[in-house]
Chain A
Amino acid sequence: MLDVEAQEPPKGKWSTPPFDPRFPNQNQTRNCYQNFLDYHRCLKTRTRRGKSTQPCEYYFRVYHSLCPSSWVESWNEQIKNGTFAGKI
């Protein structure tokens, strides 16, 4: 199951999200959202396969750095309620 409660940033050396050529312009909305989706998809897939979710940490770091916390809280609430519109 997706554990939306365990959203604290993992410890370790991290600078800031690097330049992502998929989103080269000023509008970074999709960058934030895509990494949020990718994190949850990674979590879901690896959990289902019984593998470590440590590789998913990168997506978490990126969306944690880019996305406003209010957006993340809102999306997490929607995931918890089953009303999240994105495909995970």
Chain B
Amino acid sequence: LTNTSISDAQEMETIWTILPAIILILIALPSLRILYLTDEINNPSFTIKSIGHQWYWTYEYTDYGGLIFNSYMLPPLFLEPGDLRLLDVDNRVVLPVEAPVRMMITSQDVLHSWTVPSLGLKTDAIPGRLNQTTFTATRPGVYYGQCSEICGANHSFMPIVLELIP
């Protein structure tokens, strides 16, 4: 190996810069298309609004009336035997199974994120913006999630609980 054979390889450098860039673009464009395709039109049965606050969630069921309630984490002192610490709440979001649900998520103050990992849901709650996520749960049960965007002192203490009933 001499200096002349390991330096000044302009053509090679150009090729191995341009070619990977092209390959990445060829990967990214279909991926972006698929990302939008997965946001399917599903004709929801009903709409629920979820508003993030510091440090609790408000849920609004306003399709048929004016059911609005807050959902606070149960403090440790108020837990019953069998309750999950840092996960259980006083008022759960009750939903029917097999019904397409549209969740409209926003925030009243700072950024939050409404998450239910077991249903594959994570949507940011952004003040001044209304984000939509849709899902259809197929199994009854209780599904837990936690706020997923740092939002202050009690960010870890504003969980989400869905109760899916048949």
User: Which A residues lie at the B interface, using CB under 8 A?
Assistant: 9, 14-19, 24-29, 31-32, 64-70
Contact = CB atoms under 8 A, between A and B. Distances in A.
B129 A27 contact: yes
Interface of A is mostly: loop
B133 interface: yes
A26 B68 contact: no
Interface residues of B, number: 28
A29 B124 CA distance: 14
A15 B106 CA distance: 22
Given A15-B63, A16-B63, A69-B60, A27 B43 contact: no
Contact of B47 (A24, A26, A27, A65): A65
B51 A28 contact: no
Contacts of A29: 128-130
Nearest to A21: B41
Contacts of B36: 25
Contacts of A65: 47, 62-63
Nearest to A17: B47
A69 B68 contact: yes
Nearest to A61: B63
22 contacts: A9-B62, A9-B65, A15-B45, A16-B47, A16-B102, A18-B43, A19-B43, A24-B41, A25-B36, A25-B39, A26-B123, A26-B131, A26-B133, A27-B130, A28-B104, A31-B130, A32-B104, A65-B47, A68-B60, A69-B66, A70-B51, A70-B108
Contacts of B41: 19, 24
A69 B133 CA distance: 19
Contacts of B130: 27-29, 31-32, 66-68
Contacts of B45: 15-16
Contacts of B131: 26-28
A86 B156 CA distance: 38
Contacts of B129: 27, 29
A15 B60 contact: no
Contacts of B66: 9, 69
